[in-house]
């Protein structure tokens, strides 16, 4: 599967108002803490890959843990990449497996997220610690439908009053690391 994603800095109040006017359904709110790992056999920053453990705490308070691999970006017009994700029963066991294989925690990204659904897309309002407010529009698709899904996401971004040309293709992790270097 491929995840087509557009990301943009945005004022949440104005986007939330537009989403309500458009009939978007608020589906969830949750806190996510993502720990990214470095690999012993290659530099993920150079290959544009990511491996992370995500801890999610939804409004109902029941924590879930997922392991995610994100492949390199596959096009210039969006943040489209191959993604594989699975639920994890034991976070401590997973940390032990990764450590045993030489993977080490590299950085942590913390965010509060509000999820909306509209026209088959997930629209997420993100408040990222140390970075600010963003909106993400995403949908999973097959390789054959990447262009159509991307074009639909660009149209939705425009309808929300945001410029597609100003989207951010850098991950939150990348943005945090850039800020740390400055």
End-to-end CA distance of the chain: 35
Tell me if residue 33 falls in helix, strand or coil: strand
> Which tens digit of pLDDT belongs to each residue from 15-36?
999 999 999 999 999 999 999 9
What is the rounded distance in angstroms from the CA atom of residue 38 to the CA atom of residue 98? 10
Residue 37: active-site member: no
Cα–Cα nearest to 52, from 10, 13, 88, 1? 88
Give the pLDDT score at 60: 75
Q: Which residue has the higher pLDDT, 75 or 11?
A: 11
Q: What is the pLDDT of residues 159-178, one digit of tens each?
A: 999 999 999 989 999 899 88
Asked whether residue 79 carries a pLDDT value surpassing 90, the answer given is no
CATH superfamily label, 2-181: Hypothetical Protein Pfu-838710-001 (2.40.320.10)
Residue spans of the domains in the chain: they are: 2-181
Q: From the candidates 36, 37, 121, 172, give the one annotated as an active-site residue.
A: 36
Q: Determine if the pTM surpasses 0.85.
A: yes
Q: How confident is the model over 85-100, as pLDDT tens digits? A: 999 999 999 999 999 9
């Amino acid at each position: 599967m491929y995840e087509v994603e557009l990301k943009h800095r945005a004022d949440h109040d104005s986007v939330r108002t537009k989403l309500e006017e458009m009939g978007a359904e608020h589906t969830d709110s949750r806190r996510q803490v993502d720990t990214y790992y470095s690999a012993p056999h290659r530099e993920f920053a150079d290959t544009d890959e990511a491996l992370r453990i995500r801890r999610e705490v939804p409004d109902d308070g029941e924590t879930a843990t997922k392991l995610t691999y994100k492949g390199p970006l596959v096009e210039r017009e969006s943040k489209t990449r191959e993604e594989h994700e699975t639920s994890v029963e034991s976070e401590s066991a997973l940390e032990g497996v990764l450590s045993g294989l030489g993977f080490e925690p590299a950085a942590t990204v913390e965010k509060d997220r509000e999820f909306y659904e509209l026209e088959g897309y997930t629209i997420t309002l993100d408040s990222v610690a140390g970075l600010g407010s963003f909106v993400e529009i995403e949908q999973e698709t097959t390789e054959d439908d990447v262009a159509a899904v991307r074009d639909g996401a660009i149209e939705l971004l425009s309808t929300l009053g945001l410029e597609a040309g100003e989207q951010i293709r850098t991950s939150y992790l990348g943005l945090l690391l850039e800020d740390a270097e400055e």
